Structures are given as C-alpha cells and as structure tokens.
Chain A
Amino acid sequence: MRLSTIGYCFGQGLKNIWRNKLFSLASMATMAACIFMFGLFFCIVQNFQYFVKEAEEGVAVTVLFEEGTTEEEILSIGEDLTKREGVTEVVYVSAEEAWASYQEIYFEGNEELAEAFVDDNPLANSANLEIYMKDVALQDDLVEYIESIENVRKVNRSDQVADMLTGFNRLVSYVSVAIIVLLLAVSTFLISNTVATGISVRREEIAIMRLIGAKNSFIKMPFLIEGIIIGLFGSALPLGILYYLYNRIIAYVAAEFNMLTSVMSFISANELFRTLLPVGLILGVGIGFFGSVFTSQRHLKV
C-alpha cells in the first residue's frame, strides 16, 4: 500500500471519528474508564505483591539442634543451607544471643528476675539457625530437607503467615483479573458498536468504493485506524491521570501516615509505569484494533 494511500486512510479514520463524535467520545470514555480501572488494579496488585514479597522475605524458618551439637557443626549446616534455592540469608544465633533476645522480650522492666539465671543459661541448647527465604512456596521443600539433616532436633516454620499471605495475594489477583476481563469486554463491545455505526453511516460510500474497484484492505483501513485512535487516546489519557494521582497519593501517604510507611513501602511511580505504560497502551490500541477488525470483518463482506 502506498504512503499516500495510508495517509488518505488515516485522514478518513479521523473523519470517521469526527462524523460519529458522540459514539467516538462514548467509546473513548469507556475505554478510558476501563484502562483507568485496569491501571488502578494493576497498581494495587503490584504494590500488594511487592508488600507480600517483602513480607515473605522476612519470613524465617528456625532450626534447633540436638544437645551437644557444636557451633562448628551448626555453622557448617548453615553454610550448606545458604547454597539452597530460594534461601536469601542464614543467620546463626548462639545460645547466649537467644537468651539475650528472650530476656529483652520477656523480662523487660524486670531485669532483676533474669539475673537469677546469670550463670545458668536456660537456653543453653538453643543455638539455632534462622533461615530467610525469597519465596514462601519453597518452604515445604526446604523444611523437609532440613528435617533429614543429622543433629536437627526441631524446625519451626511460619506456614500460617506464609499461607495467608500467598492465599490473599492469589485472591486479590483473581478478583482483579475477573474485573479487568469484564471491563475489557465492555470496551471491546463499545468500540465494536462505534465502528459498526461508522460502517452503517458510510454504507453508500462503501458501496461506491466496491463498484470502482477498491480492495478490501482500502475499505477496512479507515475503520481500523478509527479503532486504533480511539484505543490510543482512550488509554493514554487515564494512564496520564493515574501517573499523576499515584505520585500524589504516595507523597500524601508518606507525609500523613509515617507509621504506615515504616511497615510497608510503595513501588515508585517510574518503576510501576515502566510496565503499566506499555501494557496499558498495547491493551488500549489492541482492543481498538481487534474490535475494529472483528466488526469490519462482520459488516464489510465484499
């Protein structure tokens, strides 16, 4: 196809939008609403996953050893465990450190009571390894492996927290996907309707085109361009608004809710939009394009 023909079809696509101003605006608005909702859920899910990931990384498995296991033996096991898949950190906690930590928690304000044990560490056999992981899902395998190691007395795991986080994460993802799919179906339907209206308005012109030998691609091209433009504008606008709002919300939360930011942190807008911007634009343009393709296929049988 010649460049001048593409230019002509592009102009006709713009004219189609102008001729069906109301329908085009309605399609763009719905598309904008859908992409906005998509972006919103994307931000929520991404931030939640980020939060879950951080929380998961903080989840530790504690390994306690049989009486008489030496520090060297424990450190050797620890070194072996650092090489395991999914393990991010292995921390050796000596019996003294375990007792000091215990005192801090349970004898706070009553330190004199702990002095009774000054020469007799009640946690003498509690030297342990704390193992931190990047993925809770790998915990089962790791625990099974540790339990098979000689001298291991007990493995304390954090299944409940891990399961809850993973389960909740999955639920949020499923709900988001369901809502997004529904919204995308609505926008595809609306774009399809707009293109169908355009085709019906231009029926006479299309009939003339056919009579004077226009190829199918020449007849369809303006409608495809129309769909792509609606998709492009319908997605670029809400993404811009989301970028602005996201930055404002993060700044607001940081300023007003210090406590919250110490517990959880947000992904930066730039990092988030590195994925969201292309995905949102491709989604918008893709829906516009395929909505037009299917509609013109159905209504423009030559």
Chain B
Amino acid sequence: MIVLENVVKSYPNGVGAINGISLHIERGEFVFVVGDSGSGKSTLIKLLLKELEPTEGTIRVNGVLLNRLKKKAIPKYRRKVGCVFQDFRLLKDRNVYENVAFAQRVVATPTREIKKNVPAMLSLVGLAEKYRSYPRQLSGGEQQRVALARALVNSPDILLADEPTGNLDPKTSREIMKLLEEINARGTTVLVVTHDQAIVNTLKKRVIRVQKGIITGDEKESGYIG
C-alpha cells in the first residue's frame, strides 16, 4: 500500500529532513510513526500527500509512483488519501455539516449523495446531533471528530493523521484513537504521526521510530520506547 525506498528529502537551505528512509506498510495496517520534534515525521506526511517532492528515492502509494505523478493528477490522488491535523483545519465560517459536505462538494459528489453520506459520517464520529454547530461552539475533541468525518467522507484508502491528539486532553485523545481504530477495522490503512507516548503504549500497534530523518526502530505491537 505504502512503499518508500531510500527516500531523502533535503530543504533548499541544505537541511536534511529525511536522510534515507525505506518503509513498507501493508493495506489495512495501523501504524504509528513516533519521534522527537524535527525528526522528520511531518515531512513524511507531506511527502505522502505530495505536498513535497523527495530529493532522492521513490514513493509508491496504492500502486501510484508519486515521483512521476503529474500536477494534474494530484487532486485525484489526494481524494484517496484522507488527512487530519493537530490544528483540525476546519472552515470556521461553516457549520459541522457544511465542513464535512465541503469535502464531497470538492470532488463533485451529487447533492443527493452528500445528503445521505454526511449524516452517516457524522453518526460514525458521534456528532450527528451537532451538525448545525460551528467549530467555535465545539470542544477540541469534537473539532477533531469533524476533521475525521471530513477526511473519511470520500472513503479514502489511507488515513494520514499528523499529531491528531496534539491539542487534546488525555481522555479525548483516547476517544479519538478509539475512533481511529474503528476506522482501521473498517479496512482503511491508518498512519498516525505522534509523540503521545500514552496513546502509543495503550494501542500496541506497529511503531516506526524516526530520529534525525532515519528509521531507528520498526516493531509490531510495540510501545513508544523513546
């Protein structure tokens, strides 16, 4: 599903964010990528979203070789890769329903489909009752649920989560992670970038440790082990 081979990413100032990573993630896996700030975790997410180009090496996602992906084909590729972020990135001037429906509008889903899919997705994340609320009226956890619903409404094959619990208290973090497990159980490959030790230790999933742009550990059913 996700294959990285000898990937290097250096920024124009010469700083190397990723210094030769090779990685295989199978379809339906749940993977944590852990590491300190500046270790290259977020760069990895950006490379997988094709926001950045690797300096060296190849990245293949879902059979698509990202190095050769033309600009015009990027939107179509991103529709199959859902993503959530620490800062939720919701549209503040739109309510919960509109925020989720927005993702469907972007991909030109017919209105009658949107009317069916959005409530179903809001039920999945437990926000069916709050569909008319605006982001400012929601807690951090609820906002992240909306972001998750938005990321999943187009049925992506992969879900990338960049520090999804970074702004949440431990209880809410656990709820979000439980939700991510449920999503994974439905067949979506989930890759979570985090430095939340408690979460990683609780879930006992595959953990890939990154330090200074290289993989220093890759274990199944592991804990954080800094």
Contact = CB atoms under 8 A, between A and B. Distances in A.
A205 to B, nearest CB: 6
A214 B104 CA distance: 10
A302 interface: yes
Contact of B78 (A1, A204, A212): A212
A205 B93 CA distance: 10
B91 A211 contact: no
Contacts of B106: 209, 212-214, 218
A216 B89 CA distance: 20
Contact of B79 (A204, A212, A216, A302): A212
A2 interface: yes
B111 A213 contact: no
Interface in A1-32: 1-2, 4-5, 8
Nearest to A12: B105
Nearest to B114: A4
B83 A4 contact: no
Interface string B49-92: 10000000000000000000001001111110011000001010
Contacts of A8: 105
B74 A302 contact: yes
Contacts of A205: 91
Contact of A1 (B75, B76, B102, B108): B108
B46 to A, nearest CB: 10
A251 interface: no
Contact of A5 (B75, B76, B108): B108
B195 interface: no
Given A213-B78, A214-B106, A208 B89 contact: yes
A221 to B, nearest CB: 11
A274 interface: no
A298 interface: no
Interface string A121-146: 00000000000000000000000000
Interface residues of A, number: 19
Contacts of B110: 2, 4
Interface string B133-153: 000000000000000001100
A132 B77 CA distance: 74
Contacts of A207: 89
Contact of A212 (B71, B103, B108, B111): B103
B107 A213 contact: yes
B114 to A, nearest CB: 9
- Indicate the member of A2, A8, A204, A212 with the most B CB atoms within 10 Å: A212
A153 to B, nearest CB: 79
B154 interface: yes
A149 to B, nearest CB: 71
B79 A213 contact: yes
Contacts of A2: 108, 110
Interface in A208-229: 208-216, 218
Contacts of B105: 5, 8
B111 to A, nearest CB: 5
Nearest to A2: B108
A4 B71 contact: no
A211 B83 contact: yes
Contact of B71 (A211, A214, A302): A302
A120 B78 CA distance: 104
Interface in A193-243: 204-205, 207-216, 218
Nearest to A1: B108
A4 B79 CA distance: 19
A227 B110 CA distance: 26
Nearest to A7: B111
A214 B76 CA distance: 8
Given A1-B108, A218-B106, A302-B74, A212 B150 contact: yes
A218 B150 CA distance: 18
A214 B75 contact: yes
A55 B103 CA distance: 67
A211 B108 contact: no
A209 to B, nearest CB: 6
A208 B49 CA distance: 12
A4 B111 contact: yes
A233 to B, nearest CB: 24
B154 A204 contact: no
12 contacts: A4-B111, A5-B108, A8-B105, A208-B102, A212-B79, A212-B83, A212-B150, A213-B76, A213-B79, A213-B154, A214-B75, A302-B74
Interface of B: 49, 71, 74-79, 82-83, 89, 91, 102-103, 105-108, 110-111, 150-151, 154
Given A212-B82, A212-B154, A213-B79, 7 more contacts: A8-B105, A211-B49, A212-B78, A212-B102, A212-B107, A213-B75, A213-B107
Identify the 4 closest CB pairs spanning chains A and B, nearest first.
Answer: A213-B79, A213-B78, A214-B106, A213-B75
